Amino acid sequence: MRKMRWVVVFLSFLAIAINYIDRANLAVAAPQIEKALGIGPADMGLLLSGFFWTYAFMQMPFGWFVDRIGARIALPIAVGWWSVFTAATATASSVVGMFGCRLLLGMGEAGAYPSCAKLVSQWFPREERAFATSIFDSGSRVGSALSIPVVALIVGTLGWRAAFVITGCLGILWIVGWFAIYRAGVHGAMMGESGGATAQQDGSGRRRGNGGVTWASLFRYRTLWGMMLGFFCLNFVIYFFITWFPSYLVQTRGFSLKSLGSLGMIPALISIPGGWLGGWASDTLVRRGWSLTAARKTCMVGGMLASSAITLSAFTSDTWLMLACFGLSYGSLAFAAASIWALPADVAPTPGHVASIGGIQNFASNIAGIVITTFTGAMVALTKGSFTIPLVVAGGFCVLGAFSYLVIVGRIEPLPVEPAQQGLAGTSHSSV
C-alpha cells in the first residue's frame, strides 16, 4: 500500500507532464505551421487561444464526471481523449480544422487535475496530501520545460506534423502503463472509488455518497468562492510566465534566443523544488500538531505574498536581480499551489465531492489564463512595448490572493452537510 500510492502519484505526475507537453507543442511548432498553412500571426493567435476556452469551461463538468465514475477510469479517458486530438492536429490543413482539434484537446485535458486531486484524496491521509499534491503538480513545470527542446527537436528532424503524432503517442503509452500498474484491488475500498481507506482514516468523519449535498449547492459555501478567487489570482501570475514571459525577456530585456533558452529557464527550474518544498512544509506543520487551517493557510498566504516580488522585476535594470525576482515569484507560487490543490480533499463535505470542487476552483483559475493573455497584450500595445503595468497588476493579484485565502476561505475542514442557513452556507467557517 505505502509503495503503491507513490507509484500512483508518479503516474499522475507523468500524466500532468504529458498534458503540458501536448498543450505547448503548438506554440513551439508555430513558425513552421504558419509557413506550411500560409497563415499569419492573427490566425495563430486564434489557434493558441482555442485550447483555453474549452479547458476552462470543461473543468466543472469533468470534475462532476470524475466523482461519478472514479478517477481510475476518468483519468485514462481524459488522457486518451486529448492524445487522440493531439495526434489528429497533424492531419489539419486549415485554420478551422486545427482550431477544432485545439478545442477538443482542451476538453480532454480538463480532466487531468480533478482526477489527480481525487486520487491523492483516496490514497493519502490529510497530513501527507500536500506533498503528494506537489509531486503531481510539478508535472506542469516539468512538461512546460521539456516541451521546448523535445518538440523543437522533433520539428527540426521530422517536421511539425510528426511532432503532434509523437507527442500524442506519449499519452497512449501512458494509458497502457496505467492499466498495467494500477490495480483497484490493491485495497478493497478502492473498488467503489467513493472514499478509499485513507479517506476514512483522516478523522474527518465524512459520510459516503454525496451526503445530500448537490453539485449546485456547493456554490453556497463561502469557502469555495474564496478558493476560486485565490486560485484565479495565483494563475493570473503563473500564466504570465507560460505565455508572455519569453516575449518580455526578448523585447524588453534584449535576450537572444540562446540566453532565452538558458537564463530564461531559471524561474521555471526554481518553481519545481519550490512546489515540493511547499507540500513538505504544509504536511510537516500538520504532523507537528498545527491545525490543518494554520498549516495550509500559512503556506498559501505566505507563498502568495512572497510571489508579489514579480512587481519588483519591473523596476530594476540588473539582469540577475530581475531573474531573482521572477524566480522568487514563480517558486513562491508553486510553494502555495501544493496546499491549494490539497484543499479540495481537505474541505470536501464527502469523498464524492473532491473532484467536483477541484474542477470548480480550476475553472476559475483558468479564466485567469484568458484574462492575463488579453490584458497583457492590450497594455503592451497601449504603452508601446512596456510590461510595467502588467507586472504591477500581477503583484497586486498576488496580494489579493493572499487576502482571499486568509479571510474569505474559512476553516480548512470538511464543509457542513446540514441544510444551509440564511446567506452563504459555511459562514461559521470563516475564522482562521
Q: Are residues 198 and 326 in the same domain?
A: no
Q: What is the DSSP string of 103-146?
A: HHHHHHHTTHHHHHHHHHHHHS-HHHHHHHHHHHHHHHHHHHHH
**Grid cell in block for residue 126:** 490529510
Same domain, 117 and 46: yes
Q: What integer pLDDT is reported at residue 419 of this predicted model?
A: 52
| Last residue within a domain, chosen from 203, 225, 252 | 203
First CA to last CA distance, the chain: 34
| Count: domains in the chain | 2
Q: Are 240 and 167 within one domain?
A: no
Residue 257: what pLDDT? Answer: 65
Q: At what angle do helices 71-88 and 59-69 cross, to 10 degrees?
A: 140
Domain membership flag for residue 193: yes
Residues 393 and 247 in one domain: yes
Task: Print the domain residue range for 411.
Answer: 215-432
| CATH assignment at residue 355 | 1.20.1250.20
Instruction: Please name the helix (run of DSSP H) or strand (run of DSSP E) that holds residue 53, with its range, or none.
Output: helix 41-57
Query: Within a domain: residue 210?
Result: no
Same domain, 17 and 157: yes
In tens, the pLDDT along 257-281 reads: 677 767 888 898 899 999 999 999 9
Same domain, 223 and 199: no
Rounded Cα distance between 293 and 296, Å, is 6
Tell me the pTM. Answer: 0.82
Same domain, 221 and 125: no
Please report the pLDDT score of residue 184 as a whole number.
60
Burial (0-12, 13-18, 19+ Cβ within 10 Å), 363: buried
Whether residues 167 and 254 fall in one domain? no
- Give pLDDT tens digits for 315-354: 999 999 999 999 999 999 999 999 999 999 999 998 889 9
Q: What is the pLDDT of residue 211?
A: 56
Give the domain-ending residue among 158, 182, 203. Answer: 203
Q: Specify the pLDDT at position 99.
A: 92
The answer for residues whose C-beta is within 8 angstroms of residue 411's C-beta and 6 or more apart is: 293, 429, 430, 431, 432
Same domain, 177 and 245: no
Residues 113 and 222 in one domain: no
Q: Name the phi and psi angles at 210, rounded to 5.
A: -105, 0
On whether the CB atoms of residues 376 and 260 are closer than 8 A, the answer is no
What parts of the chain have a pLDDT lower than 70?
1, 184-212, 257, 261, 418-432
> Is the separation of the CB atoms in 151 and 29 below 8 Å?
yes
Output the CA–CA distances (angstroms, integers) from residue 255 to 147, 233, 321, 363, 379, in the order listed: 20, 28, 15, 34, 21
Asked if 161 and 54 sit in the same domain, the reply is: yes
